[in-house]
């Protein structure tokens, strides 16, 4: 009996152990894969988005970070920053040119070749990475030294990841373009795939735990503001505003708009960092709020100041260990507070404007616009009766105005009313 009981207990615990081991094995086989998506130009806002995604992938010890890419190219400084992020990250990066007919031209090609796994849709296109200079009305070729520098850079990226560097060099020197299928045959990318499932199969990821990292509301704002066309616009507005401020001597509003525009333009070009942009915006916003308090500007200074401070706050990243939901909630609260402050300044500004436009109800100025009756002919000086009071009056036009005529008060100087005839 004891042997039978012992045998049953042994079998029971053996089954439990096997089940736990199997569960742990299944859990261990599940690999975390984070996915981001980049569509459009590579710009400063793109860098901020990828920087957050890579930090999140490192913090959560993700097995792979998949960057779904479709881009015609972008700014060199942002591209260099993104490439450095990818090369320095311990997380395995997969850059996937994912659309049929999609692109990874110019900046996109550099980012593709910097990845651990370069995968392209067979009917997508990559290459055309020869640098171009831009002027106001045309695109022109750049200095041959820059071309050689970019050639050396793309060659080193290909060699680091053991890809065909000879073909990579042609992307820059000859502006070569290839389809995904052609790039695979020439060995300049790792593989082709039509969707993520194909990628997971090729990378032997049997049970991926996929989580997408979308752009936050704040990142969408800065991504929009860092568009190359807006960068040019901000720099132009900034320069013209500062010139106008210096020439007119009125720095308060024109000068501040110029500085804010220049900060945004310089950040968009990559000349200043995101944190310096934030510090500058907060300082300018604080100055404008103080200006609104001590020198009311009908709410304009207050509104611009609030917006500047809000944008400045959002340039500083969240604490890495805070849940993203918490940070998003705080962001929404900040936006709500900013809207409330803006509305306050709009209401107060309107009240000030109405007060300044309203006709005085006390003092001599309150008489302007009122009607009076001539009791002694104006030729051009005489007398008028105004609310049972007799005033010395003068015809402002110099014309003769007879007794009992109705006149309107135009201005007052001392004890003399200057009037004009009604009717």
Position 421 pLDDT exceeds 80 = yes
Distance, in Å, from the CA atom of 181 to the CA atom of 191, rounded to the nearest integer, reads: 8
* 183 CB-near residues (< 8 Å, 6+ apart): 120, 126, 167, 189, 192
Query: In 3D, which of 15, 13, 18 has the Cα closest to residue 5?
Result: 13
User: Tell me, what's the pLDDT at 158?
Assistant: 94
Beta-carbon count within 10 A of 307 CB: 17
Q: To the nearest whole number, what is the mean pLDDT of the chain?
A: 78
For range 64-81, the mean pLDDT:
91
Distance, in Å, from the CA atom of 169 to the CA atom of 92, rounded to the nearest integer, reads: 24
Homologous superfamily of the 23-215 domain (CATH): 2-enoyl-CoA Hydratase; Chain A, domain 1 (3.90.226.10)
* 323 CB-near residues (< 8 Å, 6+ apart): none
User: What are the domain boundaries of the chain?
Assistant: 23-215, 219-357, 364-421
Q: Are strands 381-386 and 371-376 parallel, antiparallel or unpaired?
A: antiparallel
pLDDT tens digits, one per residue of 222-256? 777 777 777 777 777 777 777 777 666 666 667 67
295 pLDDT band, cuts 50/70/90, is low
User: Tell me, what's the pLDDT at 260?
Assistant: 75
pLDDT tens digits, one per residue of 148-184? 889 999 999 999 999 999 999 999 999 999 999 999 9
For 335-370, letters b (16+ CB in 10 Å) and e give eeebeebbeebeeebeeeeeeeeeeeeeeeeebeee
User: Tell me, what's the pLDDT at 296?
Assistant: 57
> Which letter does DSSP use for residue 129 in this model?
-
Helical pair 44-59 and 252-269, crossing angle rounded to 10 deg: 60
Per the CB < 8 A criterion, the answer to whether 67 and 94 are in contact is yes
3-state secondary structure of 189: coil
For range 188-196, the mean pLDDT:
95
User: Tell me, what's the pLDDT at 2?
Assistant: 43
Per the CB < 8 A criterion, the answer to whether 410 and 368 are in contact is yes
pLDDT tens digits, one per residue of 349-362? 555 555 555 555 55
- Residue corresponding to tokens 């509104």: 303
Per the CB < 8 A criterion, the answer to whether 43 and 80 are in contact is no
Distance, in Å, from the CA atom of 107 to the CA atom of 97, rounded to the nearest integer, reads: 13
CATH of 364-421 given 1.10.760.10, 2.40.50.140, 2.130.10.10, 2.40.30.10: 2.40.50.140
Taking CA atoms, 241 is separated from 130, 234, 244, 260, 301, in Å, by 35, 10, 5, 10, 16
Position 138 pLDDT exceeds 80 = no
Nearest 5°: CA angle at 228, between 223 and 229? 110
Query: In 3D, which of 129, 73, 125, 75 has the Cα closest to residue 97?
Result: 125
Beta-carbon count within 10 A of 24 CB: 10
User: Tell me, what's the pLDDT at 1?
Assistant: 47
User: Tell me, what's the pLDDT at 24?
Assistant: 46
């Amino acid at each position: 009996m004891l042997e039978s009981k012992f045998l049953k207990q042994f079998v029971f615990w053996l089954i439990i152990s096997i089940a736990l081991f199997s569960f742990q094995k299944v859990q261990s086989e599940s690999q975390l894969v984070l996915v981001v998506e980049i569509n459009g130009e590579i710009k400063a806002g793109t860098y901020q988005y990828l920087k957050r995604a890579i930090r999140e992938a490192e913090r959560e010890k993700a097995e792979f970070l998949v960057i779904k890419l479709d881009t015609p190219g972008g700014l060199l400084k942002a591209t260099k920053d993104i490439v450095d992020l990818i090369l320095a990250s311990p997380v395995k990066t997969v850059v996937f040119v994912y659309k049929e007919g999609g692109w990874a031209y110019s900046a996109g090609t550099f980012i593709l070749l910097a990845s651990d796994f370069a995968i392209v849709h067979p009917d997508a296109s990559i290459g055309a990475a020869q640098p171009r200079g831009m002027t106001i009305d045309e695109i022109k070729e750049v200095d041959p030294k820059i071309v050689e520098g970019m050639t050396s850079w793309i060659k080193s990226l290909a060699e680091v990841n053991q890809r065909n560097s000879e073909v990579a060099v042609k992307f820059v020197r000859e502006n070569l373009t290839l389809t995904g299928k052609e790039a695979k045959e020439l060995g300049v990318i790792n593989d082709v795939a039509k969707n993520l499932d194909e990628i997971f199969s090729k990378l032997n990821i049997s049970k991926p735990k996929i989580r997408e990292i979308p752009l936050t509301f704040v990142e969408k704002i800065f991504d929009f503001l860092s568009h190359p066309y807006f960068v040019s616009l901000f720099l132009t507005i900034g320069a013209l505003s500062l010139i106008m401020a210096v020439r007119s001597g009125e720095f308060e509003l024109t000068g501040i708009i110029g500085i804010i525009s220049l900060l945004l333009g310089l950040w968009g070009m990559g000349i200043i960092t995101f944190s310096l942009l934030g510090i500058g915006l907060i300082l300018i916003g604080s100055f404008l709020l103080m200006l609104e308090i001590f020198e009311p500007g009908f709410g304009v200074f207050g509104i611009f100041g609030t917006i500047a401070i809000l944008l400045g706050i959002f340039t500083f990243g969240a604490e890495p260990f805070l849940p993203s939901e918490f940070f998003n909630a705080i962001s929404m609260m900040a936006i709500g507070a900013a809207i409330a402050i803006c509305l306050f300044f709009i209401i107060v500004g309107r009240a000030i404007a109405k007060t300044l436009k309203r006709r005085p109800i006390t003092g001599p100025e309150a008489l302007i616009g009122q009607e009076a009756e001539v009791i002694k002919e104006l030729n051009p000086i005489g007398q008028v009766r105004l609310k049972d009071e007799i005033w010395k009056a003068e015809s402002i036009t110099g014309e003769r105005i007879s007794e009992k005529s109705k006149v309107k008060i135009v201005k007052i100087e001392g004890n003399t009313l200057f009037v004009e005839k009604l009717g």
